[in-house]
Structure 1
Amino acid sequence: MTGGPLLRCALLDDFQGVAATAADWSPLAGRVEVVSFPDHTADEDELVARLAGFDIVVTLRERVPFPGSLLDRLPRLRLLIASGMRNTVIDHAAAERCGVTVCGTASSSTPPVELTWALLLGLARGLVQESAALRAGGPWQQTVGADLHGQRLGLLGLGKIGSKVAQVGLAFGMDVVAWSSNLTKERADEVGVALAPSKEELLATSDFVSVHLALGERTRGLIGAPELALMRSTGYLVNTSRAAIVDQDALLEALHAGRIAGAGIDVFDIEPLPADHPLRTAPRLLATPHLGYVTRANYATYYGEAVEDIIAFLDGSPVRVLG
């Protein structure tokens, strides 16, 4: 696909304004005009108005849904690229019907293992409270930290990410246990952790609980009010996986009531989180704005492979096609 008028490519949700510099876009010079949008919208009418003049759209993960109703209203769109090789919010059948090729990129080269531990350690040692007090000239030493060595780390999920989180926990000298509906003792033994007999037992006996499950019908709402009630009052919950796995209202209630010691959250039901959202002011909460995948290396992969996808599409041989 060469010659003709310049095509236009939209980069969605470029919050930090780094998409244009995270990769080398120069191979597209003279063929594609690249425009980044630093703000987010999921409203269909707003998306139609924003994207109507674009032939190519690059979106991050599953942040912006592309249902058939939206794709039907974007007749100019020919190529949709999403970071990662799995996307459940794109209607692939509708894309095919509309003549839109859907491509992906490699998944995160640095999955949210590091951020999981940043949140867990921040909670355990009261880093936010202590840092804020020190900078404000407040009292010296306000919190008493929770130990990791000898404490139990309960992992919901022991896949690619969960197993790496487990390795760090073992290095800290923690007693690591794991559970998921299809986890086997053989897999747990392979990673070097114990298989919890049930989700309930894991929640009731763990000092720290970390979620590392894919979102599906079996995991949606997996941690609700009854499950949070099982946790120790000194226990901490960390979720860097998918927001819908943990019931947000139940978590808010548990935090306000002091039923658990704290939570570290990187994923939310609504993103970006509205300015007046109750999670912004919830007690005992260490929250980050979905930073699990936001690293230089990951952005270089996402956008670098997006450039490759565009070139391959323009040359008539699409790569990493999703469907």
Structure 2
Amino acid sequence: MQIVILDDYQDAVRKLACFATLSGHDVKVFNNNVKGAGQLAVRLRDAQVVVLNRERTALTRAVLDKCPKLKLVVQTGHVGAHLDVDACTALGIAVIEGKGDPAPTAEFTWALIMSAMRRIPQYVANLKQGAWQQPGLKSQSMPVNFGLGQRLAGKTLGIWGYGRIGRIVARYGQAFGMHVLVWGSEASRTAAAQSGLDVAATREALFIESDILSLHLRLTDATRGVVTLSELSHMKPQAILVNTARAELIASDALVSALNRGRPGMAAVDVFEAEPIMRGNPLLRLENAICTPHIGYVELEHYEHLFGQAFEAIGHFSAGDTADLLNPQALDHLR
């Protein structure tokens, strides 16, 4: 089969052990991202199978209409709004999704928390410029001695969203001697209480009381823009907001405005509204923002897991096994 794998930014997929599963197929791997529907359609015009690397590329109806040979879309991890499943079904394109592992993102979240609390990126950057023990962070909006950093023990770790990742991050917080405070849906609050954790009295209280607030919500119509400038302004001047979930959870421009006002004092983010992020993004210019290029899930074992699932699914489909389709209705129109 003609297989196209999109957005392998690290040029890693061909070097994975699981890639051998595709032996005998004609495989093209692209290492860069294109946004235009026309350019993307050119890449996919001969593809019978497309493997999507998470949400890096959107497959809309406009693109799918220009892919006459496409029979199968395999999603690494869960399908999101970037893939028009209804259009796939109508066009007779089967869809199979995988399942991610929460551990890599949880670990990366903790790495951001520790880096932000101890100002590690700022110290490293300044050391490379010849400045010994100089963190920067001298804006007038910041508290006195903000550049020194803070310990985790005794601080309050706020977690909004007590799902698979949030639960792991909560355990990390407990291991470091932190007070863990949870907010989320009724189910999240109930699960947190059953785990012996404190539940915030209100959503506003979560922002007021947290020294570190980590977002672990799914992006839905209900959660889009749910974090507003008003809520961020309730955070402590020394507090840190961490987002390894989705950028769209925060109202547009709210985080930049809040950081410029000094509440919270710092943010550590791995996700952006438009990815790859443009060089002129205002977050990149802020000394109190730590930005990473959406690599929370990018880790060797996780790549083997995600792509191993995807490649195995291709093998099953090519052998006529359609049991795992997300859209079995597509079989009525299958190309």
Q: Same fold (TM over 0.5)?
A: yes
In structure 2, the residue matched to 1:115 is 108
3-state SS of 2:241 partner: strand
For residue 89 of structure 1, report the CA deviation from its aligned partner.
2.3
Whether 1:213 aligns to 2:217 is: yes
Task: Give the aligned CA root-mean-square deviation in angstroms.
Answer: 1.6
231-240 vs 102-111, which deviates more? Answer: 102-111
3-state SS of 1:230 partner: coil
116-125 vs 84-93, which deviates more? Answer: 84-93
In structure 2, the residue matched to 1:3 is none
In structure 1, the residue matched to 2:142 is none
Whether 1:134 aligns to 2:127 is: yes
Report the Cα distance in structure 2 between the residues aligned to 1:27 and 1:140, rounded to whole angstroms: 50
For residue 319 of structure 1, report the CA deviation from its aligned partner.
4.9
Is the 1:152–1:208 contact (alpha carbons within 8 Å) kept by the matching residues of 2?
Answer: yes
For residue 46 of structure 1, report the CA deviation from its aligned partner.
1.1
Which of 10, 17, 21 aligns to 1:16? It is 10
Look up the equivalent residue of 1:67 and give its one-letter code. T
Q: Could you list the structure 1 runs, at least 4 aligned residues long, displaced by more than 6 angstroms after superposition.
A: none
3-state SS of 2:253 partner: helix
Which of 254, 257, 267 aligns to 1:253? It is 257
Counting aligned pairs with the same residue, the percent is 35
Report the Cα distance in structure 1 between the residues aligned to 2:304 and 2:168, rounded to whole angstroms: 22
How does 1:235-250 map onto structure 2 within 5 Å? Answer: 235-250=239-254
Is the 1:124–1:146 contact (alpha carbons within 8 Å) kept by the matching residues of 2?
Answer: yes
Which of 292, 297, 318 aligns to 2:296? It is 292
Is the 2:156–2:209 contact (alpha carbons within 8 Å) kept by the matching residues of 1?
Answer: yes
Which of 55, 59, 75 aligns to 1:66? It is 59
Is the 1:309–1:318 contact (alpha carbons within 8 Å) kept by the matching residues of 2?
Answer: no
Is the 1:120–1:264 contact (alpha carbons within 8 Å) kept by the matching residues of 2?
Answer: yes
For residue 150 of structure 1, report the CA deviation from its aligned partner.
1.0
For residue 184 of structure 1, report the CA deviation from its aligned partner.
5.6
User: 1:182-230: CA deviations, max 9, x gaps?
Assistant: 2465412232210111110110111110000111122111111111111
Look up the equivalent residue of 1:102 and give its one-letter code. V
Whether 1:103 aligns to 2:96 is: yes
Report the Cα distance in structure 1 between the residues aligned to 2:3 and 2:295, rounded to whole angstroms: 25
Report the Cα distance in structure 1 between the residues aligned to 2:190 and 2:280, rounded to whole angstroms: 46
Report the Cα distance in structure 1 between the residues aligned to 2:275 and 2:2, rounded to whole angstroms: 26
In structure 1, the residue matched to 2:164 is 160
3-state SS of 2:148 partner: coil
Which of 50, 75, 97 aligns to 2:68? It is 75
3-state SS of 2:317 partner: helix
Report the Cα distance in structure 2 between the residues aligned to 1:185 and 1:61, rounded to whole angstroms: 28
Report the Cα distance in structure 2 between the residues aligned to 1:127 and 1:109, rounded to whole angstroms: 25
Is the 1:178–1:195 contact (alpha carbons within 8 Å) kept by the matching residues of 2?
Answer: yes
Is the 2:183–2:189 contact (alpha carbons within 8 Å) kept by the matching residues of 1?
Answer: no
For residue 118 of structure 1, report the CA deviation from its aligned partner.
0.8
Report the Cα distance in structure 1 between the residues aligned to 2:6 and 2:180, rounded to whole angstroms: 39
- Per the normalisation by structure 1, the TM-score is 0.93
Unaligned residue ranges in structure 2 (runs of 5+)? 136-146, 328-335
Report the Cα distance in structure 2 between the residues aligned to 1:226 and 1:275, rounded to whole angstroms: 27
User: 1:98-150: CA deviations, max 9, x gaps?
Assistant: 11111122313534111111111111001011122223321335431212111
- Per the normalisation by structure 2, the TM-score is 0.90
227-236 vs 106-115, which deviates more? Answer: 106-115
Report the Cα distance in structure 1 between the residues aligned to 2:209 and 2:21, rounded to whole angstroms: 55
Report the Cα distance in structure 2 between the residues aligned to 1:131 and 1:161, rounded to whole angstroms: 28
Look up the equivalent residue of 1:238 and give its one-letter code. V
Whether 1:303 aligns to 2:296 is: no
For residue 152 of structure 1, report the CA deviation from its aligned partner.
0.8
Decide whether aligned partners of structure 1 residues 139 and 218 sit closer, same or farther in structure 2, where only a CA change above 3 A counts. same
For residue 57 of structure 1, report the CA deviation from its aligned partner.
0.6
Which of 166, 170, 174 aligns to 2:174? It is 170
Report the Cα distance in structure 2 between the residues aligned to 1:246 and 1:34, rounded to whole angstroms: 38
Unaligned residue ranges in structure 1 (runs of 5+)? 1-6
Look up the equivalent residue of 2:168 and give its one-letter code. K
Which of 36, 45, 51 aligns to 1:43? It is 36
